[in-house]
C-alpha cells in the first residue's frame, strides 16, 4: 500500500480490513482471490544453496544451519529444537575415484556421519532410525526396508557412471552434464551419484522423521508398533508434534484426511498398508496405480537438495504422474488439470 493511501486511510479512521469489507460487498470473488493469493505467498522454505563438488565445500555443506528464531520463517527450527541430531559415524566405501579425479582431486574423505533421529534428551544410545519400536514380522520387515531405501539411498541406476542404489551421502556427485562427459558404454565406472539425489546427514534425519510421520498414520500401521516402547522413547510425542508442524507448513493443502490418516496428497485417497508393503507382491515389477512413492514438494533438482525436511510427501504412482515436475504447494498443476477437464 502506498504511504499516501495509508495516510488517507488513517485520516478517515478506516483500517485495511474495513476497506476489504467495502470491496467485498462490491466484488466478493475478487476479495477472496486476493486473500487466497496473500495467504499463498506466505514464506515457504526456500531451496538450499547449490553445493559445489569439492571436499572443502562439502565441509561447509554439512554444517548445521543456525535455526531462525522465527519458526514461521524457518522449518529447520522444528527439527533442530526437537531432535537429538548427534553424529553417528558411518562408513562409505569410495569406489573407482580415478574416473573423476578431474572433479575430486583428493579422496581423503573422513567426516561421513549420520545423525540421531531420536527426540532431543532421549536416554540410551543414539539411533539412525525407529525400527526398534516396530514388532518383528514379514510386513514390518518390508515396510521398514522401503523406508530405508527411500530416505537413505539413491534410486536405481545402470552403474555406467552412477552407482546403483548408493547412499545419498556418497561424497562424489555429478551433474547430468558432467555425467555425460565421462559416460562410456564399455565401462561400468560406478564412481558417483547424481547430484540431484545427494543429501546431507541433517536433511536425511529431517526427511526420515517426516516420512515416519506419514508411515505411522497409514491405516493399519499402529497395530505393528510396540506401543509401550513408542511412548517411553518419546518417539510417539515427536511424531505427533511433527504431524502438527507439517500440517501448518502445508497450510494451503490437505495432507491428512479428516480422521488424521495418511493419504496420497494428490488423489486424496486413503493409503493402505499394502500400498507401501505388500508381502504378496513385488511392487517393482507388479505395479499398481495406488502404490505409494516418495513425492516431493519441490521436485528433484540439481539446484537444491530435495530429500530434506518439509519436502517429502506420500504420492501414489498415479498422483506422482499427475503432478509431474510441478511444485505441490503452487497452483500450476491444479490449473493445468482444470484446463484439461474443461476442454474435454
Ligand atoms: Zn541421540
Q: How confident is the model at residue 26 (pLDDT cuts 50, 70, 90)?
A: low
Ligand 1 centroid–CA 115 distance in Å is 8
> 305: CA distance to ligand 1 center in Å?
24
Assigned domain for 337 exists: yes
Task: Please tell me the predicted confidence (pLDDT) of residue 281.
Answer: 86
121 C-alpha to ligand 1 centroid (Å): 7
**Same domain, yes or no, for 34 and 61?**
no
Q: Are 216 and 129 in contact (CB under 8 A)?
A: no
Question: 247-285: per-residue pLDDT in tens?
Answer: 999 999 999 999 999 999 999 999 999 999 988 888 778
Q: Is 173 among the domain residues?
A: yes
C-alpha separations of 150 from 14, 20, 277, 295 in Å: 54, 47, 13, 10
92 in the same domain as 13: no
Lowest mean pLDDT among 25-29, 130-134, 228-232: 25-29
CA of 246 to the centre of ligand 1 (A): 22
Measure 3 CA to ligand 1 centroid, in angstroms.
52
Query: Could you tell me if 79 and 12 lie in one domain?
Result: no
Tell how far the Cα of 258 is from the centroid of ligand 1, in angstroms. 33
**Residue 219: is its pLDDT beyond 70?**
yes
| Mean local confidence (pLDDT), 15-32 | 59
Grid cell at residue 17: 480490513
pLDDT digits (tens, 9 = 90+) for 169-217: 999 999 999 999 999 999 999 999 999 999 999 999 999 999 999 999 9
| Together in a domain, 27 and 81 | no
Q: Clarify whether residues 32 and 71 are in a common domain.
A: no
Pick the range with the lowest mean pLDDT from 11-15, 242-246, 297-301. 11-15
String of DSSP letters for 216-229: HTSBT-GGGB-HHH
**pLDDT category of residue 140 using cuts at 50, 70 and 90:** very high
201 CA from centroid of ligand 1 (Å): 13
pLDDT tens, position by position, 243-256: 999 999 999 999 99
pLDDT-based confidence at residue 29 (cuts at 50, 70, 90): low
Residues 63 and 9 in one domain: no
Task: Measure 202 CA to ligand 1 centroid, in angstroms.
Answer: 13
Task: Tell me, yes or no, whether 79 and 18 share the same domain.
Answer: no
* Residue 159 pLDDT exceeds 80: yes
What pLDDT does 299 receive? 93
What mean pLDDT value characterizes the chain?
84
Residue 197 within a domain: yes
Confidence tier at 162 by pLDDT (50, 70, 90): very high
186 is a domain residue = yes
Same domain, 75 and 178: yes
Do 206 and 165 fall into the same domain? yes
- Whether residue 328 has pLDDT greater than 50: yes
Whether residue 172 is contained in a domain is answered as: yes
Residue 250 C-alpha cell reads as 502445508
Q: What's the 60 CA to ligand 1 centre distance in angstroms? A: 22
Phi-psi region of 226 (alpha: psi -120 to 50; beta: other; left: phi over 0): beta
Between 90 and 50, the more confident residue is 90
- Same domain as 167, residue 127: yes
For the entire predicted model, the pTM comes to 0.80
CA of 312 from ligand 1 middle (Å) equals 23
Question: What's the pLDDT at 21?
Answer: 59
Q: Name the one residue in this structure whose C-alpha cell is 556421519.
A: 113
Residues 108, 82 share a domain: yes
Strand pairing report for 87-89 and 113-115: antiparallel
* Average pLDDT of the segment spanning 113-128: 96
Range of the domain at 17: 3-40
48 part of a folded domain: no
Structural domain tally of the chain?
A: 2
Q: Over 60: is that where the pLDDT of 83 sits? A: yes
Strand 312-316 versus strand 292-296 pairing type: antiparallel
Query: For ligand 1, a single-atom ion, which residues have Cβ within 5 Å?
Result: 84, 86, 116, 118, 126
Is the pLDDT reported for residue 41 higher than 50? no
pLDDT-derived band of residue 106, with 50, 70 and 90 as boundaries? Answer: confident
- d(Cα 48, Cα 1) in Å, to the nearest integer? 31
Q: Is 47 a member of any domain?
A: no
The span from the first CA to the last CA of the chain, in angstroms, equals: 42
CA of 124 to the centre of ligand 1 (A): 8
Region 121-134: mean pLDDT is 96
Same domain, 193 and 245: yes
Q: Considering the domain boundaries, does residue 50 fall inside one?
A: no
Amino acid at each position: 500500500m502506498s504511504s499516501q493511501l495509508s495516510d488517507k486511510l488513517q485520516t478517515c479512521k478506516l483500517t485495511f480490513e474495513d476497506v476489504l469489507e467495502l470491496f467485498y460487498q462490491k466484488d466478493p470473488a475478487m476479495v477472496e482471490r486476493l486473500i487466497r493469493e496473500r495467504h499463498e505467498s506466505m514464506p515457504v522454505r526456500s531451496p538450499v544453496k547449490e553445493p559445489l563438488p569439492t571436499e572443502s565445500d562439502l565441509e561447509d555443506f554439512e554444517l548445521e544451519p543456525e535455526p531462525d528464531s522465527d519458526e514461521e520463517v524457518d522449518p529447520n527450527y522444528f527439527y533442530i529444537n526437537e531432535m537429538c541430531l548427534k553424529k553417528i559415524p558411518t562408513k562409505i566405501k569410495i569406489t573407482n575415484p580415478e574416473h573423476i579425479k578431474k572433479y575430486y582431486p583428493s579422496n581423503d574423505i573422513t567426516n561421513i556421519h549420520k545423525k540421531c533421529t531420536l527426540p532431543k534428551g532421549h536416554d540410551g544410545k543414539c539411533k539412525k532410525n525407529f525400527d526398534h519400536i516396530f514388532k518383528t514380522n514379514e510386513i514390518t520387515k518390508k515396510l521398514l526396508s522401503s523406508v530405508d531405501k527411500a530416505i537413505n539411498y539413491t534410486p536405481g541406476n545402470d552403474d555406467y557412471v552412477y552407482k546403483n542404489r548408493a547412499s545419498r551421502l556418497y561424497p562424489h556427485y555429478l551433474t547430468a552434464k558432467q555425467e555425460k562427459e565421462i559416460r562410456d558404454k564399455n565401462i561400468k565406472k560406478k564412481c558417483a551419484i547424481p547430484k540431484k539425489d545427494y543429501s546431507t546427514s541433517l536433511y536425511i534425519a529431517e526427511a526420515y522423521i517426516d516420512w515416519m510421520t506419514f508411515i505411522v498414520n497409514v491405516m493399519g500401521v499402529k497395530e505393528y508398533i510396540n506401543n509401550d516402547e513408542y511412548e517411553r522413547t518419546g518417539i510417539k510425542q515427536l511424531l505427533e508434534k511433527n504431524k502438527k508442524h507439517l500440517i501448518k507448513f502445508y497450510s494451503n493443502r490437505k495432507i491428512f484426511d479428516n480422521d488424521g490418516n495418511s493419504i496420497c496428497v494428490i488423489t486424496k485417497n486413503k493409503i493402505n498398508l499394502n500400498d507401501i508393503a505388500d508381502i504378496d507382491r513385488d511392487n517393482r515389477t507388479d505395479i499398481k496405480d495406488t502404490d505409494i512413492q516418495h513425492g516431493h514438494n519441490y521436485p528433484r533438482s540439481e539446484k537444491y537438495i530435495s530429500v530434506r525436511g518439509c519436502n517429502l510427501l506420500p504420492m501414489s504412482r498415479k498422483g506422482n504422474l499427475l503432478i509431474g515436475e510441478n511444485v505441490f504447494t503452487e497452483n500450476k498443476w491444479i490449473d493445468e488439470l482444470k484446463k484439461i477437464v474443461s476442454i474435454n
